[in-house]
Structure 1
Amino acid sequence: MTDVPAAVREDHHADVSGGWLRPAVFGAMDGLVTNIALIAGVGGGGVTPHTIVVTGVAGLVAGAISMGLGEYTSVRSQNEQLAAEVAKERRELERHPEAEARELADSWVRRGLPRELAEQVAVALGNNPDEALRVHVREELGVDPDEQPSPWTAAILSLVCFSIGALVPLLTYLVGFTSLWLALGVGALGLFVAGALVARFTNRPWWMSGGRQLLLGMAAALVTYLVGRLIGLGGPLG
């Protein structure tokens, strides 16, 4: 079978503009780290397993809602700001088309395009107002106005992935075990697996991505555990 050049295939690049990967990864990692650290902190204080479960579930619910609302508001605000800038650029194109064409041509000349050709293309582009607007926005703002992330997608993914991540360190308690160290061990495994899965989208070594997330998450758990031991009851760990 003859290889098809990547440049002529529509699927030769991953979708980096849909806005789903960042909230999914951020939600899952935040859920894992937040609840592992939370459980380590209260567990280090010597509270009962029941209290750890109540604390972990409360952290899961509150964190998931907070993440969902935060992602929705953040992405919605970003899109609204972009819409305002696009409207501003549209007005400039309507009022000062020649100046905008010169500005676009100048940006292409700085990239190495011959002046005459750059000006010809900029003027010809002005005959198609919609395409001219898209090109000007991409050149001046560095974004595509037609490919913006959905605030609802970001919110739902963040909420769901946070919940899944936050559930992992609670699993051992929910099935009947009472050992803090076992719960933290399962959480550590979850951190490594989550980091390794992210490597599938970034083409980085899976063990490096997993190890990095494990190290960062366990560092957070160690800090909260020590704080819990200092100000808590100082009881047995189970």
Structure 2
Amino acid sequence: MASSSAAADNLAGDFTEAEDKPHDAHRDNHTHRDVNGGWLRPAVFGAMDGLVSNLALITGVAGSNVASQTIVITGMAGLAAGAFSMAAGEYTSVASQRELVLAELEVEREEIRKNPAEEERELAELYASRGVEPKLARQVAEQLSRDPELALEIHVREELGVDPGDLPSPAIAAVSSFGAFAAGAVLPVLPYLLGAEQLWPAVLLALAGLFLCGSLVARVTARSWWYSGLRQFILGGAAAAVTYGLGSLIGTAVS
């Protein structure tokens, strides 16, 4: 009995003290990529979104043989519209997700307050379903349930798959999306802002940016950098070619 209690104490301690324990040599040498991409993924994809959409926009307008000033105005309007749209959408998405998680937190907190024994049983069943010996699972659940806030955190992590202490900020998400999109969208317009009169410098700069963004994506996907870069280069080039053709056709039809 004493050995089972000690085992439960040790296993419960693993949940509450894991962050304080130093990693052993195996863990130091056994690392994985961040499969969520961390900050790099949304930043790069936001920039690529801005690049492709604004490149396609200005090539479509340029295909209709308008003045470079019109292309600049169109490109900057596309940048502003797209960046604000991305920021608003990201803010709404993250805020909604955060509100849902906080609401579920309150539901779970109330359940733990009203039915502590039932919630403890659920926790024990959860550990047992993952291979922990049933008796030991019950002991671990009992140990963890002594702290209602710790029990709440574990229930939410296991049942909802989120860390209640690491919820994203809607404002930060919105600003990040705005900045990433704008950084990508400004590239196709930049040559015109610097005095270019022809389309090709804008296309080359945008395609180079897409190749760079694709190469950075390889850090998340584990594919070769040149493959990811070339894929984005081709997709962006195809979008530009299609919209340029449409712009030429429409420009000819309405002239």
TM-score by length of 1: 0.87
Report the RMSD for the aligned CA atoms in angstroms: 2.4
- Which residue does the alignment assign to 2:27? 7
Distance 2:28 2:214 in 1: 32
Aligned to 2:46: 27
Cα offset, 1:121, TM superposition: 0.8
Runs of 4+ in structure 1 over 4 Å off: 12-19
Shift of 1:225: 2.1
The 1:98/1:66 distance shift into structure 2, 3 A limit, reads same
Contact 1:18 1:148 in 2 (8 A): no
- 1-structure distance, mates of 2:194, 2:57: 19
Selected match of 1:89 from 74, 96, 108: 108
Look up the SS of the partner of 1:231 in the other structure.
Answer: helix
The superposition leaves residues 88-123 of structure 1 with CA deviations (integer Å, 9 ceiling, x where unpaired) of 111111111121122222222222111111111111
Identity of aligned residues (%): 55
Matched, 1:68 2:87: yes
Query: Are the equivalent residues in 1 in contact too, given 2:156–2:163 (CA < 8 A)?
Result: yes
Q: Does 1:80 align with 2:104?
A: no
| Aligned counterparts, 1:33-182, within 5 A | 33-182=52-201
Q: CA deviation at 1:164?
A: 1.1
Q: Which runs of 5+ in 2 are unaligned?
A: 1-23
CA distance in 1, matches of 2:222, 2:150: 34
Q: Structure 1: 5+ residue runs without aligned partners?
A: none
Contact 1:71 1:155 in 2 (8 A): yes
**How far off is 1:222 after superposition?**
2.7
Whole-angstrom CA distance in 1 between matches of 2:25 and 2:37: 24
Distance 2:238 2:126 in 1: 46
Alpha-carbon distance in 2 for matches of 1:114, 1:227? 66
Whether 1:205 and 2:224 are equivalent positions in the alignment is: yes
Structure 1 residues 212-223: aligned runs within 5 Å: 212-223=231-242
1: CA distance between counterparts of 2:172 and 2:234? Answer: 29
Q: State the one-letter code of the partner of 1:198.
A: V
Letter in 1 for 2:46: G
CA distance in 1, matches of 2:161, 2:224: 30
Distance 1:124 1:82, change over 3 A: same
Rg (Cα) greater in structure: 2
**Structure 2 contact 112–152 (Cα < 8 Å) conserved:** yes
Q: How far does residue 33 in structure 1 lie from its aligned partner after superposition? A: 0.9
Paired with 1:195 and 1:18, the residues of 2 have a C-alpha distance of 14
1:129-184 deviations in Å (ceiling 9; x for gaps): 11111110011011111111111221111111111111111122122222222311
Using the alignment, how far apart are the partners of 1:224 and 1:186 within structure 2? 17
Give 3-state SS (helix, strand or coil) of 1:146's partner: coil
Q: 2:250 aligns with which of 213, 231, 236?
A: 231
Equivalent pair of 1:56/1:170 in contact (CA under 8 Å): yes
1:143 aligned counterpart, secondary structure: coil
Return the alpha-carbon distance in structure 2 between the equivalents of residues 28 and 89 of structure 1: 38
Q: How many residues align?
A: 230
Contact kept in structure 2, 1:101 and 1:123, CA below 8 Å: yes
Alpha-carbon contact 2:72-2:193 (below 8 Å) kept = yes
Paired with 1:6 and 1:144, the residues of 2 have a C-alpha distance of 26
